[in-house]
Structure 1
Amino acid sequence: MKRNHRIVVAAVSAVAALALSACSTSAQTDTSKANLTFMTFETPALTASFWDSSIKAAQKEVPNVSVKKIVSPDADRNAYAKQLQASGQFPDVLSSINPKDFTSAGLLKPFDESWLKDNFLQPDANAIGGKTYIPPTNSQVLPLVFYNKALFEKAGVKVPTNYAEFTDAVAKLKASGVTPIELAGSDTWAASMPLVALASADVLGSDPDWIQKRYAGKVTFADPEFVAAMQKQVDLIKQGAYDPAALSTDFATANKNFLAGKAAMYIMGSWFTGSSYMTADQAKQYGAFPFPTDSGKVVIPFNMGGTTSVSAKSANVGDAAKFAQAWSLAPENLKVLIETDGAYPNMKNVKLSDFGASVSDLYTATYKYVTDDNEKVAAFGWVNNDNALAPGINDDFYALSQALFSNSDVQSQLQKLDSEWDAATKK
């Protein structure tokens, strides 16, 4: 699932005020049930109707709760949750937030460890300090490099197996008259996908413990290996890998551009294999490969996903936890995520075939990156476990993706990121 780009605080406050007003005027009055608020969000895959039906699915298992849906007005769900918390309206259940932004304040309740072990293949995959605040229901590879088979063939390009071949492919594609790489540059989380790929492949691929070393102060963003990884993005920009209008292109438009054949490659999360982004027939026209490293070593940026988190401050915390568990285990909920959002299931008692989900050949091909024995590292800036970045740093890292288009001084920008990290970890 996608997440987190910056928004103007004043705008969020205004929308939050409207949302809270709506809550106060339409609050549940059924005193026989526990009244819960559930903060959700909407995407092309996770529509309003999905959330409504998913809530009903969970309520079958927890009929004694009444659920009020609160929709985040923006992709930055963390910011919205913080606005609600500051207003004394922190939701009872929250969807797809970054737990590290809330655990230090004691705002989240961890899930029961026995329940995790009973239901998930990797029960500790989302653990933070030994506690899990988002169930590890499904996994993602992010990003992958999606490519248009016809445009590759026209330009005489083969799937690159190392970074030199990748930059050569960029040159050949540009010479053929097509934009080499599509970029949703106006949305920072989407614009950051090349940086996520580079940090995951080059930095974590060489040192999987790099993030823990950053917490310990043993490495910095301004160290040569991280600078070299980010410099590759500057080099790609200078090479003309992206459309000149990339920074004004939003996520929805970038998706359309790529599927319309206006670009040959698209660096995006594995959710792009879902039916809300492309049909099964369209998927036949595309392939995908992991972002290539200098040596050709295959590195898979891996994220264990999940949706529900529970407020430790809820007046009905027990019922909130039961609802969150029921939502996470409801087969119909995960089936929708598999089909529309390309989720790779991680359930212990339910196999992919058991869901009866219709998926494309592209989904099946990329799912092998999850099931195969290969080198998996944390998807930089996207995981929900101990390798999550310090609170607030995700947004700072995402914003770097836009800044590099106008400021190619990588060293100074990473020194600034170090300062932001240090400030965040000293709170």
Structure 2
Amino acid sequence: MKRRPALMAAVTGLVSALAITGCSTSGTAAGGGGGGLTFMTFETPALTAKFWDTSISEAQKAVPDVKVKKIVSPDADRTAYAKQLQASGQFPDILSSINPKDFTAAGLLKPFDQKWLDENFTDPNGNAIDGKTYIPPTNSQVIPMIFYNKKIFAERNLQVPQTWDAFTKVVTTLKKAGVTPVEMAGGEPWSAGIPLSGIITADVLGSDPQWIQKRYKGEVAFTGPEMTAAVGKYRQLIGAGAFDKGALSVSYADANKQFLAGESAMYPMGSWFIGQIPAADADDFGTFLLPSETGKAIVPFNTGGTTSVSAKSSDVDAAATFAQAWSLSKPNLKTLIETDGAFPMLKNVPFEDFGAKVTPLYTDGFKLVTDDNAKVSAFGQVNNDDALPPGVVEQFNSLAQKLFTSSDTKGALATLDADWDKAAK
């Protein structure tokens, strides 16, 4: 999943992080020295320590003579932590849910075999960067979906908005009624950026799916009219009181609790949030796509996946074999479906074969993936050619936080242009 707070590069922080995970300090080029492999994971309310331990044991059957040691990222930013480990000569052999573009230029990742990808996935090139795939396209996500509380909407005779004007009117009505219109986990950069990402995806990429590629070529800029207008909408929502004034201090976990407790009416969040809604309460919530300026339904799509392999591993073949086994494990996907709202994309496994128990809310979300509709890359959330340059995702998320209290849209976007140009050299 996409959870990426800003990098904390202080040496003391690195030492503390290494102590937390119990990582070896051998100083090897990769973490898999001594006949074993290291697997950098992360833990969330959905993907618990037990899940990782079980999934590792299952995938390790593919490499029975190799010990796999789990390293847990101390916070939600796996990419930043992987950079810390790499800087200290301890880059893991296998890494979960990182941003590949941050490592490919240095030749740190091994691409997966194209034949294996073609044989096993419905969208084998969904995560391709310059024709090579560094994260298997095992599942997909919609980032964001707008979750809403049906009871709050019904009590105020509100309909699901289909246009931006209708959406802002819903916000105004809820605000006047004393209800927080839109939940925001603004205390964590990765989640603070999701509402702004959703608006940009709907309007900018919805109108021009090639906008990111054009930005790489220097043909468009963040200070251009399309992006300026989209960011203006974000400021419009802030000015209308769509978010709680203290949203920048709200963690992702607390935002989830507040929305599920009925303290807010809507919540822009990735489809993984489906897995956080108790089955007994699922009928109380619905979803819709953030309306675009044109009114056309735009699906902010991300081809997901977990395992990347270090090209510097002491046993690259074993690491790749483990990563492939982990990615094709039906029990792993079953857990991701049920607890993390993942939409599977395995070619040879019918959905019913996972044995997953899902709610109508999940089924409705999955239809966005399987239906023929207008899918575009979710801005700042993908791991393919439309991924932002190294470090720019973090800058974008920081910008979303700054714009919560600053009206200097022009200056913020000019800074983002400069950050992009520097990172993309």
2:71 paired with 1:70 = yes
Q: Which amino acid aligns with 1:8?
A: M
Task: Give CA-to-partner distance per residue, 1:112-142, whole Å, 9 cap, x none.
Answer: 0000011000101100000000000000001
Instruction: Give the Cα separation in 2 of the matches to 1:231 and 1:78.
Output: 30
Q: 1:117 aligns to what SS in structure 2?
A: helix
Classify 1:179/1:221 alpha carbon distance in 2 versus 1 (closer, same or farther; 3 Å): same
* Deviation per residue, 1:21-69 (Å, 9 max, x gap): 64359x9xxx9x9410000001111111100000011012221221010
Instruction: State whether structure 2 residue 358 is matched by structure 1 residue 337.
Output: no
1:307-343 per-residue CA deviation (whole Å, 9 max, x = no partner) reads: 0000000010010000000010111111100000000
- Residue of structure 2 in register with 1:243 after alignment: 244
Q: Which deviations, in whole Å up to 9, do the C-alpha atoms of 1:138-158 show, x marking residues without a partner?
A: 000010100000101112210
Which amino acid in structure 1 is aligned with residue 254 of structure 2?
T
Structure 1: how far apart are the matches of 2:84 and 2:195?
30
Percent pairwise identity: 59
Tell me, yes or no, if the aligned pair for 1:19 and 1:70 is still in contact at 8 Å. no
- Which AA in structure 1 matches 2:320? A
2:4 aligns with 4
1:115 aligns to what SS in structure 2? Answer: helix
Secondary structure of the structure 2 residue equivalent to 1:23 = coil
Is it true that 1:208 corresponds to 2:209 in the alignment?
A: yes
Cα distance in 2 for partners of 1:64, 1:106 equals 27
2:309 matched residue in structure 1: 310
Q: Which whole-Å deviations, capped at 9, do the CAs of 1:357-411 have from their partners, x for residues lacking one?
A: 0111100111111111100000000111000001100000111111012211111
Instruction: Tell whether the 8 Å contact from 1:55 to 1:327 is kept in structure 2 after alignment.
Output: yes
Could you tell me which residue of structure 2 aligns to residue 121 of structure 1? 122
Paired with 1:16 and 1:365, the residues of 2 have a C-alpha distance of 40
CA distance in 1, matches of 2:378, 2:224: 20
Letter in 1 for 2:329: A
Q: Which moved more, 1:118-127 or 1:7-16?
A: 7-16
Query: Secondary structure in 2 aligned to 1:350?
Result: coil
- Deviation at 1:282? 1.1
What code does the residue aligned with 1:143 have?
Answer: P
After TM superposition, the structure 1 = structure 2 runs for residues 245-394 of structure 1, keeping only pairs within 5 Å, are 245-274=246-275, 277-394=276-393
Q: Distance in 1 between matches of 2:350 and 2:247?
A: 40
Contact 1:137 1:345 in 2 (8 A): yes
Q: Which position in structure 2 is the counterpart of 1:176?
A: 177
Instruction: Describe the superposition over 1:68-91 as per-residue Cα deviations: whole angstroms up to 9, x where unpaired.
Output: 101000111111101111111000
Kept after mapping to 2: 8 A contact 1:12/1:80: no
Contact preservation (8 Å) 1:39, 1:94 = yes
Check the 8 A contact 1:186/1:248 in 2, yes or no.
yes
Q: Partner of 1:153 in structure 2?
A: 154
Distance 1:21 1:273 in 2: 33
Deviation at 1:278, TM superposition (A): 1.4
**3-state SS, counterpart of residue 326 of structure 2:** helix
Q: 1:16 touches 1:83 (CA, 8 Å); kept in 2?
A: no
Judge conservation of contact 1:345–1:351 (CA < 8 Å) in 2. Answer: no
Give the whole-Å Cα distance in 1 for the aligned partners of 2:338 and 2:399.
32
Given the alignment of the two structures, is residue 399 of structure 1 paired with residue 398 of structure 2, yes or no?
yes
RMSD: 1.6
SS of structure 1 residue aligned to 2:3: coil
Q: CA separation in 1, counterparts of 2:200 and 2:144? A: 11
Instruction: Work out the CA distance in 2 between the residues paired with 1:242 and 1:86.
Output: 39
Stretch deviating more after TM superposition (397-406 or 307-316): 397-406
Map 1:72-111 to 2 at 5 A.
Answer: 72-111=73-112
Deviation at residue 177 of structure 1 after TM alignment: 1.6
Separation in structure 1 between the aligned mates of residue 322 and residue 109 of structure 2, nearest angstrom: 15
- Normalising to structure 2: TM-score of the pair? 0.96
| 2:39 matched residue in structure 1 | 38
Q: Is the 8 A contact 2:144 2:300 kept in 1?
A: yes
Report if the CA contact (8 A) 1:15-1:73 is conserved: no
Off by >2 Å, runs of 4+ in structure 1: 14-17, 19-25
Instruction: Report the 3-state secondary structure (helix = DSSP H, G, I; strand = E; otherwise coil) of the residue aligned with 1:389.
Output: coil
Normalised by the size of structure 1, how large is the TM-score? 0.96
- CA distance in 2 between counterparts of 1:212 and 1:339 reads 35
* Aligned position for 1:47: 48
SS at structure 2 position matched to 1:83 = helix
**How far apart are residue 101 of structure 1 and its match?**
0.2
The residue number in structure 1 matching 2:423 is: 424
Once the two structures are TM-superposed, the CA of residue 12 in structure 1 deviates from its matched residue by: 3.5
Q: Retained in 1: the 8 A contact 2:141–2:301?
A: yes
Point out where structure 2 has 5 or more consecutive residues left out of the alignment.
none
